[in-house]
Amino acid sequence: MSRFVLPKSVLARNIALLIVLVMLSQVCSLAVLLHYVQRPRVERAATVFANYVAILDALLEAVPDNARDAVIARYHGRKSVPEEAASAPTPNLFKLYRTYQRDVFLDSLRRHLPGDMPVRWQSEGGERLWIRMHAQHSPVWIALPIPEDAQGAGLEAAILLSLGLGALAAFTGYLLQRHLNRPLQDLARTARHVSAGDTPAPLPTDGPTEIAEVSTAFNQMTAALQQAEATRAVMLAGISHDIRTPLTKLRLAMAMAPTDHGDDSFTVAAESYLDQIDTIVQQFMDFAGSSEREAPQLGDLNALVNRLAGDFAGLGHEFELTLSDVPPFPYRPISMMRLLMNLMQNAVVYGRVGLSVRTWFDAGKAYVAVGDRGEGLTAQELEALKAPFQRGRNARTHSGGTGLGLAIVERIAKLHGGALQFHARDGGGLEVWAVLPVDPAAGAASRR
């Protein structure tokens, strides 16, 4: 059995509920109208009509024979009832109210007439009632016009008007719900901007009381987050300065220290440890830094890849480049440079051979794929390394890492509305994809 599924949005649910309530109220109103208003009215009309029929029947019995035929002809009298006249007229679904009112009238009329005076209702060729009269021991069927109370005229227009008012109420509810949904949509859009690291304008607080309270609380939360971010930036800058200052002094002292005993290996090892400490501090700064406050700028992704590949080539690491056309789009230049440097550095350290970078554009997204042919981690193992402070099994022989490299890359990709993916390369090895959405409209606006 299929289950009833409610609409997803509050707007659709409220409109559906409003329509159901309006329809229920219309059905209840119609039921009350038919049972307590129209039914007694039709029954009174049937009683009056039955008295009229009884008087006419008595008149036909009392009228002289030479005048009886004229009276019978006046009422289209005939010896047998027409074939199109039925004792139980066919109900009409599209005229349900008229069928109901006609049945009530006929039932009430038959209760007030003698059993030997049957009633037939003719619908074809004009509506009329056929009633069998006595006419002095010579029964005859005569046709009488149907009272207006039995025809249901007028109420159909009222029902249509009631349905129209119900539709108007539903449409008005729809407009009201749209008006209430607008501040909620603004709230959702502003929340997405905050999660992307932007600083949106405060939400208006001049709407309904409940919405205004939510907007005020959200504005307070946004202000608190901005204050916390500013405090974090100051704290990180202080920590970086306080740590790097003694490291610099220590490096200088070691460089100036006398080497009379020729123990240069100790100095070289100590400087290597200092470099590792400095790298670790920089990785912490990159992960918890202030990339969110960096303003996006229109840039050429291929140009940035070319520049970084040249830098790595100067260090003896050649990357094979396959760069397709990627339209310029806004991105945070320093953050994007960190993303590419981390991916290329990981390929150099852990892959060593078959280094490559390729770019392409597809379905509104820019793709950067950094690959190698090394025997490193699988795509499934790398997925687990997105979490901070996670290091793979191939990192045991490489000192100086913190397990933040891929976490930094994924954070920067998400900051740009993108994602980080891992794919096995044809022929062996691995590729890391950075998928970045491109907004052509934003790029065109920046060019103007």
Say if 41 falls within a structural domain: yes
Q: Which of 108, 139, 158 is the last residue of a domain?
A: 158
Query: What pLDDT, on the 0 to 100 scale, is given for residue 29?
Result: 79
Q: Is the pLDDT of residue 236 over 90?
A: no
Report the distance separating Cα 205 and Cα 212, nearest Å: 5
Say if 325 falls within a structural domain: yes
Residues 19 and 108 in one domain: yes
Say if 178 falls within a structural domain: no
Say if 173 falls within a structural domain: no
The secondary structure element, H or E, covering residue 182 is helix 155-195
pLDDT interval class at 1 (50, 70, 90)? very low
pLDDT tens string 201-218: 888 887 777 778 888 888
**Residue 329 belongs to domain with CATH number:** 3.30.565.10
CB 448 within 8 A of CB 381: no
pLDDT interval class at 273 (50, 70, 90)? low
Report the distance separating Cα 274 and Cα 254, nearest Å: 11
Residues 300 and 411 in one domain: yes
Residues 112 and 215 in one domain: no
Report the distance separating Cα 49 and Cα 181, nearest Å: 59
Query: What pLDDT, on the 0 to 100 scale, is given for residue 361?
Result: 92
Residues 300 and 284 in one domain: no
**Residue 286 belongs to domain with CATH number:** 1.10.287.130
Query: Considering the entire predicted model, what is its pTM?
Result: 0.44
Query: What pLDDT, on the 0 to 100 scale, is given for residue 233?
Result: 64
Residues 398 and 284 in one domain: no
| The CA-based dihedral angle spanning residues 217, 418, 185, 211, taken in that order and rounded to the nearest 10 degrees | -10
Residues 417 and 437 in one domain: yes
Q: Which amino acid is at 177?
A: Q
pLDDT interval class at 116 (50, 70, 90)? confident
Among residues 236, 227, 339, which one has the least CA distance to residue 288?
Answer: 236
Q: Which of 257, 292, 327 is the last residue of a domain?
A: 292
For residues 273-294, give the mean pLDDT: 60
Query: What pLDDT, on the 0 to 100 scale, is given for residue 155?
Result: 61
Q: Is the pLDDT of residue 237 over 50?
A: yes
Mean pLDDT computed over every residue of the chain = 75
Residues 240 and 369 in one domain: no
Report the distance separating Cα 364 and Cα 366, nearest Å: 7
Query: What pLDDT, on the 0 to 100 scale, is given for residue 63?
Result: 80
Using DSSP, state whether 269 is helix, strand or coil.
helix
pLDDT tens string 296-342: 888 898 999 999 999 888 888 888 888 889 899 888 888 888 888 88
**Residue 153 belongs to domain with CATH number:** 3.30.450.300
Residues 350 and 386 in one domain: yes
Say if 177 falls within a structural domain: no
Q: Is the pLDDT of residue 275 over 70?
A: no
The DSSP line for 114-154 is -TTS-EEEE-TTS-EEEEEE-TTT--EEEEEPPPHHHHTTT
Residues 306 and 231 in one domain: no
Q: What is the DSSP letter of 432?
A: E
Say if 163 falls within a structural domain: no
Q: What share of residues in the chain are helix, strand, coil (percent, to 5)?
A: 60, 15, 30
pLDDT interval class at 445 (50, 70, 90)? very low
Query: What pLDDT, on the 0 to 100 scale, is given for residue 431?
Result: 86
Q: Which of 292, 327, 343 is the last residue of a domain?
A: 292
Across 141-156, b (16+ Cβ under 10 Å) vs e yields bbbbebbebbebeebe
Query: What pLDDT, on the 0 to 100 scale, is given for residue 379?
Result: 59
Domain that holds residue 204: 196-292
Query: What pLDDT, on the 0 to 100 scale, is given for residue 367?
Result: 93
Extended beta strands in 88-236, E state:
119-122, 128-133, 140-144
Report the distance separating Cα 139 and Cα 132, nearest Å: 6
Residues 54 and 103 in one domain: yes
Say if 422 falls within a structural domain: yes
Say if 33 falls within a structural domain: yes
State how many domains the chain has: 3
pLDDT tens string 338-379: 888 888 888 888 777 888 999 999 888 999 999 888 776 665
User: What's the distance, CA 146 to chain centroid?
Assistant: 57
Residues 233 and 378 in one domain: no
Residues 284 and 305 in one domain: no
- Bridge-based pairing of strands 356-362 and 320-323 is parallel
